[in-house]
């Protein structure tokens, strides 16, 4: 469901043909023997105030995408434009200035906070680095942010180990929020938390987004959480986006056979709705040697001959994008030639 | 079912549908004596598992689900100790068994699969070796016969090319495959009860669906009862017949799956069910929140252990611990305020 506001607003982040290959070195001279194609030619955009959900199974490259858009990893190829500026070739000083507007929340609230720093120091560090205010003003900003994230401002002098998982995740959110960014990458922010704590954090993220018009790239493997929080959703499989659409549209009318299988695999907490599911055979293949043609063809229930040879191209049906030969044939009536 | 109750024990022994349960746990207490104090990991737990049925044991991390499973297998190591209770397998009290007797039960009559298929297999032995060990320990068969049965078992869990994969090592397999090997090992001796402790938590959803499908198929083939331990309410809804919800080392609600999801009576169960987003849920709907945190098992709250987080708690809840009682035919819950089978929460009937 995209709100009117996000439809009209500017594009904040544009990713064009992003590729991330990691070399695999072998032998005595550590020659590059192969590449792990973690992310292989993906494009998307995020508007101001919009949440794009990124789902996929482990190893599909979701986290690499999240790190690449912040240039925590330099992309192998492709461009990442944030407010029109290409991050991939920005000099260090400019990149650092740019990062005030783009932040990240990590999955594991236990390992992503420095155990030797107080909460105040963890949250205030970014303010000091970017030279915001004097010491007193910074302390005030830290307390203010803690409050926004539902923590008692009196906690500034405590250490991370004194907090529970949910509270630590709030500290992680406060750290990302303190600079008033426009865009936050949320990398599996609730998957390490217990069920009763998850909803506290999800509600907080939704509330902050509405209050400060934040844009999120929300990376998760839990499809229900992603549906709940996202305006649009991209589904990844082995380094590629296979389907991208409005959240409501994608969940009601999934076109790609992988999305369909993924959705049907999610157990629903309602015993009256025990459903027939599409079981996918086998495992996700290794990104070291991805299948030719459409990468999903080895597990796809609909695969035809062409899927083994030719990579599917983007098909855009009124903003609902899908990459699949079979769907393309069904919709356009013509089979793409090889 | 008639159960004699001695005065003083928690009166929750009939938690079961008609017929004698195959595996019955009565008032189990497992404590860990740590330097910081006594951790009451399982504190007066009772449930029954009928033959051929699946019981889902749900709860958040630290609520005692796994320790209760390990207690059934009597795999609690120091500083932990099973302090009290009975664990009856077809009338045989496992807590009274000698260690050699217990060895006849483990892996033979009751088997277990674990959450981490990566760490629960031995990396230096082939998978065939590990499955064969289970067979040879419990049954007097030749090496050749054990190997044949191992290959048949690998085939049963739908691993292709069983004849060659039997000689592979765990690292040559994916997570889903390793979990299949674990299942093959657990079922090699045709157990009556399978304890599955978060069997799919480490796996992706499409692989989870494969494994759950396999388990369902094997359950009907082998006629076994399954104790499914999980935090995933969706999984429970799909596969179990009965559900027991644990909170702070105790069962707070126990009934059939259909009944639990249709009308949860305990405020904690209600909170759990409404705090997870489900597919197709409207985004305008705010997620319910259970305030606060899971209590520390070193210092449980007095009275009802859920009272500090409970929206309907009153003075009484701080002082008096509610007993698990039959609040409605076939529906047990531990809350002072459930009257006439109605939940104290507004709008609890879904």
- Per-residue pLDDT band for A335 (boundaries 50, 70, 90) equals low
Per-residue confidence (pLDDT) for residue B281, from 0 to 100:
83
The Cα-based distances of B213 to A85, A305, B57, B79, B217 in angstroms read 49, 29, 19, 38, 6
Among B28, B67, B41, residue whose Cα is nearest residue B295: B41
Inter-chain CB pairs, A–B, below 8 Å = 124
What residue spans of chain B are helical by DSSP H? 65-72, 99-105, 127-138, 143-156, 162-165, 175-187, 205-222, 233-239, 257-262, 267-275, 315-319
Binary contact (A166, B60; C-beta < 8 A): no
Q: Please tell me the distance in Å from B149's CA to the nearest CA on chain A.
A: 24
- Flag whether pLDDT at B78 surpasses 70: yes
Q: Which residue has the higher pLDDT, B5 or B240?
A: B240
Q: What is the dihedral of CA B207, B212, B217, B220, to 10 degrees?
A: 170
Q: Please tell me the distance in Å from A263's CA to the nearest CA on chain B.
A: 9
From chain B, pick out residues whose CB is under 8 angstroms from the CB of A283.
174, 176-177, 207
Give tens-digit pLDDT for B109-164: 999 998 877 788 999 999 999 999 999 999 999 999 999 999 999 999 999 899 99
- Flag whether pLDDT at A108 surpasses 50: yes
From chain B, pick out residues whose CB is under 8 angstroms from the CB of A201.
none
Cα gap B88→A284, rounded to integer Å? 42
Q: How many residues does chain B have?
A: 350
- Per-residue pLDDT band for A9 (boundaries 50, 70, 90) equals low
Give tens-digit pLDDT for A298-321: 999 999 999 999 999 999 999 999
Closest to B279 (Cβ–Cβ): which among A164, A263, A272? A263
Helix (H) or strand (E) holding A220: strand A215-220
- Per-residue pLDDT band for A191 (boundaries 50, 70, 90) equals confident
Residue A46: strand pairing partners: A13
The Cα-based distances of B146 to B69, B85, B108 in angstroms read 28, 37, 15
- Would you state the structure tokens that stand for residue A290, as one six-digit string? 């991805």
Closest to A195 (Cβ–Cβ): which among B205, B276, B283? B276
Residue B56: strand pairing partners: B228, B243
* Residue A288 sits at the chain B interface (C-beta within 8 Å): no
Binary contact (A251, B279; C-beta < 8 A): yes
- Per-residue pLDDT band for B292 (boundaries 50, 70, 90) equals confident
Cα gap B307→A57, rounded to integer Å? 38
- Flag whether pLDDT at B7 surpasses 50: no
Per-residue confidence (pLDDT) for residue B347, from 0 to 100:
57
User: If one looks up domain A4-332 in CATH, what number appears?
Assistant: 3.40.50.300
Which of 186-205 (A) contact B at CB < 8 A? 194-200, 202-203
From chain B, pick out residues whose CB is under 8 angstroms from the CB of A288.
none
- Interface TM-score (ipTM) > 0.90: no
What number of CA atoms fall less than 13 Å from residue B57's CA on the CB side?
28
Per-residue confidence (pLDDT) for residue B333, from 0 to 100:
96
Give tens-digit pLDDT for A25-78: 888 888 888 889 999 999 999 999 999 999 998 889 999 999 999 999 999 999
Give tens-digit pLDDT for B270-283: 999 999 888 888 88
Give tens-digit pLDDT for B94-111: 999 999 999 999 989 999
Closest to B210 (Cβ–Cβ): which among A57, A202, A279? A279
Per-residue confidence (pLDDT) for residue A129, from 0 to 100:
92
- The domain ranges of chain A are 4-332
Binary contact (B294, A194; C-beta < 8 A): yes
The Cα-based distances of B203 to A141, A225, B20, B207 in angstroms read 41, 17, 35, 6
Binary contact (A223, B174; C-beta < 8 A): no
Report cis status (omega within 30 of 0) of the bond before A203: no
Per-residue confidence (pLDDT) for residue A2, from 0 to 100:
44
Closest to B293 (Cβ–Cβ): which among A166, A268, A271? A166
Per-residue confidence (pLDDT) for residue B215, from 0 to 100:
94
Per-residue confidence (pLDDT) for residue A26, from 0 to 100:
83
Cα gap B300→B321, rounded to integer Å? 12
Binary contact (A268, B238; C-beta < 8 A): yes
Cα gap A81→A17, rounded to integer Å? 11
- Would you state the structure tokens that stand for residue A144, as one six-digit string? 């203010």
Give tens-digit pLDDT for A12-34: 999 999 999 999 888 888 888 88
Instruction: Indicate the pairing of strand A240-246 with strand A85-86.
Output: unpaired
Name the residue of chain A whose CA is nearest to B63's CA.
Answer: A194
Give tens-digit pLDDT for A242-301: 999 999 999 999 999 999 999 999 988 888 876 678 889 888 888 888 899 999 999 999
From chain A, pick out residues whose CB is under 8 angstroms from the CB of B213.
277, 279
Which of 187-246 (B) contact A at CB < 8 A? 204-210, 212-213, 231-238
Binary contact (B204, A58; C-beta < 8 A): yes
Per-residue confidence (pLDDT) for residue B106, from 0 to 100:
93
- Would you state the structure tokens that stand for residue B343, as one six-digit string? 């939940």
Q: What is the pTM of this model?
A: 0.87
């Amino acid at each position: 469901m995209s709100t009117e506001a996000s439809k009209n607003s500017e594009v904040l982040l544009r990713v064009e043909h992003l590729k991330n290959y990691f070399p695999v070195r072998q032998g005595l001279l550590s020659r590059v023997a192969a590449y792990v194609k973690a992310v292989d030619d993906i494009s998307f955009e995020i508007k101001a105030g919009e949440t794009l959900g990124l789902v996929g199974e482990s190893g599909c490259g979701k986290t690499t995408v999240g790190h690449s858009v912040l240039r925590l990893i330099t992309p192998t190829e492709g461009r990442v434009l944030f407010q029109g500026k290409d991050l991939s070739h920005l000099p260090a000083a400019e990149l650092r200035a740019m990062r005030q507007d783009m932040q990240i929340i990590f999955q594991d609230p236990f390992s992503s906070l420095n155990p030797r720093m107080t909460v105040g120091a963890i949250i205030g560090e970014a303010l000091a680095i970017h030279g915001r205010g004097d010491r007193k003003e910074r302390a005030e900003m830290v307390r203010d942010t803690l409050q926004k994230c539902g923590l008692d401002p009196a906690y500034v002098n405590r250490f991370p180990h004194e907090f529970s998982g949910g509270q630590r995740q709030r500290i992680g959110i406060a750290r990302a929020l303190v600079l008033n960014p426009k865009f936050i990458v949320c990398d599996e922010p609730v998957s390490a938390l217990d069920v009763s704590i998850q909803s506290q954090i999800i509600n907080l993220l939704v509330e902050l987004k509405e209050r400060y018009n934040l844009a999120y790239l929300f990376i998760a493997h839990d499809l229900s959480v992603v549906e709940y929080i996202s305006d649009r959703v991209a589904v990844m499989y082995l380094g590629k986006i296979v389907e991208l659409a409005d959240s409501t549209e994608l969940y009601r009318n999934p076109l790609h056979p992988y999305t369909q299988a993924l959705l049907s695999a999610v157990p629903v907490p309602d015993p009256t709705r025990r459903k027939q599911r599409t079981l996918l055979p086998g495992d996700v293949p290794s990104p070291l040697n991805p299948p030719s043609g459409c990468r999903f063809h080895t597990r796809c229930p609909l695969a035809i001959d062409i899927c083994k040879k030719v990579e599917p191209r983007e098909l855009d049906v009124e903003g609902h994008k899908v990459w699949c030969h079979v769907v393309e044939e069904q919709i356009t009536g013509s089979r793409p030639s090889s | 079912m008639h159960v004699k109750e001695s005065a003083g024990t928690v009166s929750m022994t009939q938690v079961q549908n008609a017929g004698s349960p195959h595996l019955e746990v009565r008032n189990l207490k497992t404590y860990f004596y740590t330097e910081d104090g006594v951790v009451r990991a399982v504190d007066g737990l009772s449930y029954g598992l009928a033959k051929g049925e699946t019981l889902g044991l749900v709860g958040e991390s630290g609520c005692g689900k796994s320790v209760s499973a390990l207690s059934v297998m009597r795999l609690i190591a120091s500083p932990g100790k099973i302090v009290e209770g009975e664990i009856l397998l077809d009338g045989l009290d496992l807590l009274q068994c000698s260690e050699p007797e217990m060895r006849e039960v483990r892996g033979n009559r009751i088997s277990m699969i674990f959450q981490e298929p990566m760490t629960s297999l031995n990396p230096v032995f082939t998978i065939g070796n590990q499955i064969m060990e289970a067979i040879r320990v419990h049954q007097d068969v030749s090496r050749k016969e054990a190997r044949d049965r191992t290959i048949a078992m690998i085939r049963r869990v739908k691993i292709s090319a069983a004849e060659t994969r039997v000689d592979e090592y765990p690292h040559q397999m994916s997570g889903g495959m390793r979990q299949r090997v674990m299942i093959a090992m657990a079922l090699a001796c045709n157990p009556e009860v399978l304890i599955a402790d978060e069997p799919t938590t480490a796996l992706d959803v499409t692989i989870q669906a494969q494994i759950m499908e396999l388990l369902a198929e094997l359950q009907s083939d082998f006629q076994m009862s399954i104790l499914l331990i999980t935090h995933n309410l969706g999984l429970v809804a799909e596969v179990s017949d009965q559900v027991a919800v644990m909170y702070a080392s105790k069962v707070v609600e126990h009934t059939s799956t259909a009944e639990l999801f249709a009308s949860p009576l305990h405020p904690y169960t209600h909170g759990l069910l409404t705090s997870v987003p489900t597919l197709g849920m409207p985004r305008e709907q705010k997620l319910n929140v259970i305030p606060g945190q899971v209590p520390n098992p070193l210092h449980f709250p007095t009275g009802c252990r859920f009272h500090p987080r409970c929206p309907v708690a009153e003075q009484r809840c701080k002082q008096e611990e509610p007993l698990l009682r039959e609040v409605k035919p076939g529906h047990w819950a531990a809350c002072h305020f459930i009257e006439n089978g109605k939940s104290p929460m507004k709008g609890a009937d879904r």
